[in-house]
Amino acid sequence: MTRLRQGSGGQALLEITGLTAFYGDFQALFGIDFRVEAGETVAIIGSNGAGKTTFLRSITGMIANDRDSIRWDGAPIGDLPANRIVAQGIAMVPEGRRLFPSLTVEENLRIGAYARSGEWTVERVIDLFPFIAERRRAPATALSGGQQQMVAIGRALMSNPRLLLCDEISLGLAPTIIKSIYDALPRICEGGTTLLIVEQDIRQAMQMSDRVYCLQEGRVTLEGRPADLTHDQIREAYFGM
């Protein structure tokens, strides 16, 4: 999926340096260095508790960070709150989808649009996930898990992100549904959106990404292009064996 578009002077779209994160006294991330170029699809792999969700929550302003630890298009954003991060063009599809149960499918989508206007509209989301046309007035809770995941992706797209973070979008879904969701991702990239995907399924992560990072116990243990990484390197980085 690579369509790298280097910023001026080779500047990364997102550059993270020495990122730490704490829950009270518990340290979950230990000095993460990470970068994403515009147009890349980057996957993060790692076992349960490795710190993947904490990392995404740090990027999206849900966990406070040092101002300079996260740079977006060259500007420090580490201390911005979540609402200002979305307005900058960074959106997240959270683990577990988190649709608003009392709202319809279309209302859920439109909530995503408050932060930033742009090319993504309800009609364009329907073009990506056609089943929504028939279900747009249904309560979000009436949908299957896979359909809810598609609406959660659509809701994030409605904020017209330049960078879309996806947290385990295949979790708990049947293989055919996972395939239709992953088949939609290249079309999202074609619209100019850069993707950062957290995925526990190593094979899936390798197939769909330009570059992979592996986290283990809050540290980056491996980074590289899938074709350059061996099974042994991945096993050691993932499981510490």
Which residues contact ligand ATP (rule: CB under 6 A)? Answer: 23, 26, 28, 46, 48-54
Give the three-class secondary structure for 194.
Answer: strand
CA angle 99, 112, 190 (to 5 degrees): 110
Which CB sits closer to ligand ATP, 46 or 161?
46
Cα R_g (the chain), whole angstroms: 17
Which residue, among 47, 35, 12, 68, has the nearest Cα to 218 in the 3D structure?
47
Which CB sits closer to ligand ATP, 46 or 146?
46
Min separation Cβ 177 and ligand ATP, Å = 19
Would you tell me the crossing angle of helices 175-190 and 145-157 to the nearest 10 degrees?
Answer: 10
Min separation Cβ 99 and ligand ATP, Å = 19
Min separation Cβ 202 and ligand ATP, Å = 13
Which residue, among 56, 38, 43, 8, has the nearest Cα to 208 in the 3D structure?
43
CA-CA distance, 204 to 201, in Å (whole number)?
5
Q: Which residues pair with 19 in a beta bridge?
A: 32
Min separation Cβ 53 and ligand ATP, Å = 3
Which CB sits closer to ligand ATP, 48 or 176?
48
**Residues 77, 80, 84, 90: what is their CA dihedral angle, to the nearest 10 degrees?**
50
Which CB sits closer to ligand ATP, 38 or 70?
70
Min separation Cβ 215 and ligand ATP, Å = 6
Which CB sits closer to ligand ATP, 53 or 148?
53
